[in-house]
Amino acid sequence: MNKLPGGHETILIVDDQETVWDFLIEALQNLGYSVLLAENGEDAVSIYRENPHEIDLVLLDMVMPKLGGHSTFYQLKEIDPNVKVLLSSGFVSATSVNDLLEKGAAGFLPKPHRLPVLA
């Protein structure tokens, strides 16, 4: 089996599904990353604001309670225009987030996550 790429960056996971967190946190930590968790968009914005320049990538679920992916993305962009955001969803297609990709989102990752693709 090929070794998966890893790193030492800090990744903020924004997702409201516990099964997703469990998988992602364990998988990413095993690859060497530091992982922070936000259960919704409001928490993500607060965590990002409180940790300036410490979060290298935000893995953002598009469908969440309180503050959805689109609103969360734009609020993160207001805090840091250079924020790196990887969009993720099992419910929306890449075409429905084209506006965010055009505004600088790093890409779109469909769910369910596959570790080699995620890495």
Instruction: Using alpha carbons, list the distances in angstroms from residue 80 to 16, 49, 98.
Output: 23, 9, 20
Q: Residue 92: pLDDT above 90? A: no
What pTM does this model have? 0.89
Q: How confident is the model at residue 1 (pLDDT cuts 50, 70, 90)?
A: very low
Instruction: Read off the pLDDT of residues 16-33 as tens digits, 9 standing for 90 and up.
Output: 888 888 888 999 999 999
- Residues contacting residue 49 through CB under 8 Å, at least 6 positions apart: 79
Instruction: Read off the pLDDT of residues 47-83 as tens digits, 9 standing for 90 and up.
Output: 999 997 899 999 999 988 888 899 999 999 999 999 9
Cα separation, 60 vs 13, whole angstroms: 6
